[in-house]
Amino acid sequence: MAYQWLAWQRGTIYGVAEAPWNLPLSIRRQGIASQGHTFAARQVKDLVDNKELPFGAHLTVNASDRYYGSPEYIAPLYEQPHLVNTIRLTNNRAVWKALSIGEQEQRRANNSDQRGANAVYGEKYKLSEAEQWELPPDEEDTFGVALSNGRRVLVQVQAWDNMMIRTKRGMNMKDKPFRLVSVRLMDAQTKEPIFKRRMWLGVWGQR
């Protein structure tokens, strides 16, 4: 028996002395036979659909750990108009660049067998091999922050739009592109990464 916990959370804010807090919004007991990803998606949807709460009518960012980076969790929530799911991704995952309309048409024209739907998946990219990608980010930024111990570091953020994960177990992901985000902490003096691995985030949602 397990419990799924949703909370309204404010973490540590750089440069602000206020303590973090965690306000429970929904706690449900999950049965042994329940599928965790599907159960959690239903719990989030019920919270967003609750007319007495503000989440369904205003931009709501739902942060989840890597356990929830599955089609069973992402797909049922994708059409929520104001919900953005930001999910941590494991370093050993692969993602695909979505083909543009023009690329889809070109691939169709080059295919002698005209049956079936248009291809939507383009080049495959392994997150663990990001240093070798020949795919420049669509956006990037670097800014400085002070850690809780006073150390000054740089935060490098890079983002790639229109990325995809594969359809699995009957959950269609072909029409659910996402923004892939890489976050790295850099030494302020040497500009070298402090940690060997990047933190990867997948951002899904209409907004």
**One-letter amino acid of 84:** V
Please state the domain extents for the chain. Answer: 2-204
Residue 112 has pLDDT above 70, yes or no: no
Residue 76 has pLDDT above 60, yes or no: yes
User: What's the confidence (pLDDT) of residue 42?
Assistant: 87
| Residue 53 phi, psi (nearest 5) | -115, 155
* 174-185 per-position pLDDT tens digit: 999 999 999 999
User: What's the confidence (pLDDT) of residue 89?
Assistant: 97
- Interatomic CA distance for residues 78 and 171, integer angstroms: 12
Quickly state the pLDDT bin for 113 (edges 50, 70, 90): low
Quickly state the pLDDT bin for 33 (edges 50, 70, 90): very low
Residue 199 has pLDDT above 80, yes or no: yes
Which percentage of the chain shows pLDDT scores above 90? 56
More confident residue, 21 or 32: 21
More confident residue, 44 or 158: 158
User: What's the confidence (pLDDT) of residue 1?
Assistant: 45
Instruction: Identify the residue whose tokens are 């940690």.
Output: 195
Contacts of residue 168, Cβ cutoff 8 Å, sequence gap at least 6:
70, 71
Three-state SS string across the chain, please?
Answer: CEEEEEEEEECCCCCCCCCCEEEEEEEEEECCCCCHHHHHHHHHHHHHHCCCCCCCCCCEEEEECHHHCCHHHHHHHCCCCCEEEEEEECCCCEEEEECCHHHHHHHHHCCCCCCCCCCCEEEEEEHHHHHHCCCCCCEEEEEEEECCCCCEEEEEEEEEEEEECCCECCECCCCCCEEEEEEEEEECCCCCECCCCCEEEEEECCC
Distances (CA, A) of 112 to 28, 108, 116: 53, 8, 12
Residue 140 CB-half CA count within 13 A: 11
More confident residue, 35 or 68: 68
For strands 60-64 and 21-30, give the pairing.
Answer: unpaired
Taking the alpha carbons at both ends of the chain, their separation in whole angstroms is 35
Cα Dmax for the chain: 64
* 132-165 per-position pLDDT tens digit: 999 999 999 999 998 888 889 999 999 999 999 9
Average pLDDT over residues 187-204: 94
More confident residue, 207 or 13: 207
Q: Record the pTM.
A: 0.83
Q: What residues form DSSP beta bridges with 184? A: 156
Q: How many other β-carbons are positioned within 10 Å of the β-carbon of residue 60? A: 20
